[in-house]
Amino acid sequence: MTVSPAYPKVQTAPGQPAPRRRRLGRKLAPWLFLAPGALMFLVYVIIPIVESMWISFYQWDGMSAKVWVGISNYLELLDDDAFYTSLKNNIIWLVLYMLAIPFGLLIALFLNQSVRGIRLYKSLFFFPFVISQVVVGLIFSWFYAPGFGLFFELTKWLDGTGIALLANPNTVTYGIIAAGLWPQIAYCMILYLTGLNSVAPDQIEAARLDGAKGIKMLWYVVLPQLRPATFIALVVTVIGALRSFDLVSIMTSGGPFGSSRVLSYYMYEQALSEYGYRMGYGAAIAVVLFAIMMIFISGFIWKMWRDERGL
């Protein structure tokens, strides 16, 4: 903590040590201010994480007594086809969700111009992010629905039989990701749009005088200035991909025959759904998901820490 320059000088003469009470107060103040947040974080984040890990060593249906089973939940995971399906789908989600970043940038660049009614266009592009994921899921499942969906009718017109994207285990995950990308692109777009506002016009001017334009201008002049926006876009997209749950739940409930499950949905199915109530097993899945998230989270924190140090 640095002493604010507006600190009233009258109370202590310069050079004289501050009274003990104030020194103590100064040490204590940051902790007091942090306390409410830290307490919340402890109660609602740290303790549940530890508890989940603890529960993952038990067999428990949520009602009867817990039975200690050691690591057998984890051993069972290793031999569980559904777990590997979920893991694979999570990786597909992670990779394909990254498309939201370049697409978002593209649309942001396209919208970053001053023509009549640009605000309206911007808000239209931002619209999918505003509506609930549940609505997005419903719209897309109707879009794909065999029998009456637009996508199905289009493919029927092309190949005669029609493609029911959500009924095929090989295509279902891609169908859901496409639905997820729609709002995610809008999110990245808005991040880039605000980022573009802070691009220094004099640098653009200078680059233009030096003859840079098009892709080169974008790559060497604009993008470096958008780094903070890219970083945030990356963070929200990774988190969005890993916690993909609502769309899977709305569009397929993990089906057909469990082929579109992701870890978060599988955890929910095992621990909390109608056919589940295996708290221990669900907790074990949660711990695995947490471990995967930790890889990314530590990466992000490390980067932020480095940036703050100015390395």
Partner 1 sequence: MNILKTTALAALMGALAFPAFAEQRTLTFNTDASDPAPKAAFEALVKGFEAKYPDVHVVVNTFDHEGYKTAMRNFLSADPPDVMTWYSGNRMLPFVKSGQFMDISDVYADNNLKEQLASALKAVSSDGKEYGVPYSYYQWGIYYNKDVYKKAGVEVPKTWDQFIENCKKFKAIGVECLTTGTKALWPAAGIFDYLDLRQNGYEFHMKLTNGEIPWTDPRVKDVFAQWKKVLPYTTSNAAAIDWQDAASNLVQGKAANYVMGNFAVATFKEGGMTDATLGFMDFPEINPDIPRAEEAPTESMHIPSGAKNVADAKKFMAYVASPEVQTQMNDILGQLPVNKNSTVADDPYLQAGFKILSTAPGGISQFFDRDAPAQMAKAGMEGFQEFMAYPDHLDQILDRLEKIRKRVYKN
Which stretches of the chain bind partner 1, using CB under 8 A?
61-64, 76, 81, 144-147, 164-169, 252-253, 255-258, 269, 272, 274-278
Nearest approach, Cβ of 94 to partner 1 (angstroms)? 25
Nearest approach, Cβ of 289 to partner 1 (angstroms)? 20
CA neighbours closer than 13 Å in the CB half-sphere of residue 290: 16
Among residues 76 and 236, whose Cβ is nearest to partner 1? 76
Among residues 107 and 263, whose Cβ is nearest to partner 1? 263
Asked if 110 and 194 count as a contact pair (C-beta separation under 8 A), the reply is no
Q: Annotate 255-303 with DSSP letters as a single string.
A: -STTTT--HHHHHHHHHHSTT---HHHHHHHHHHHHHHHHHHHHHHHHH
Among residues 149 and 240, whose Cβ is nearest to partner 1? 149
Nearest approach, Cβ of 20 to partner 1 (angstroms)? 50
Among residues 81 and 308, whose Cβ is nearest to partner 1? 81
**Encoding tokens for residue 16?**
């004289």
Nearest approach, Cβ of 97 to partner 1 (angstroms)? 23
Nearest approach, Cβ of 177 to partner 1 (angstroms)? 16
Q: Cα(220)–Cα(211) distance, rounded to whole angstroms?
A: 12
Among residues 81 and 202, whose Cβ is nearest to partner 1? 81
Q: Residue 282 pairs with which residues in a beta bridge? A: none
Among residues 52 and 237, whose Cβ is nearest to partner 1? 52
Asked if 279 and 57 count as a contact pair (C-beta separation under 8 A), the reply is no
Name which of 6, 41, 187, 218 is nearest 101 in CA terms: 187
Whether the bond into 8 is cis, omega within 30 of 0? no
Nearest approach, Cβ of 165 to partner 1 (angstroms)? 8
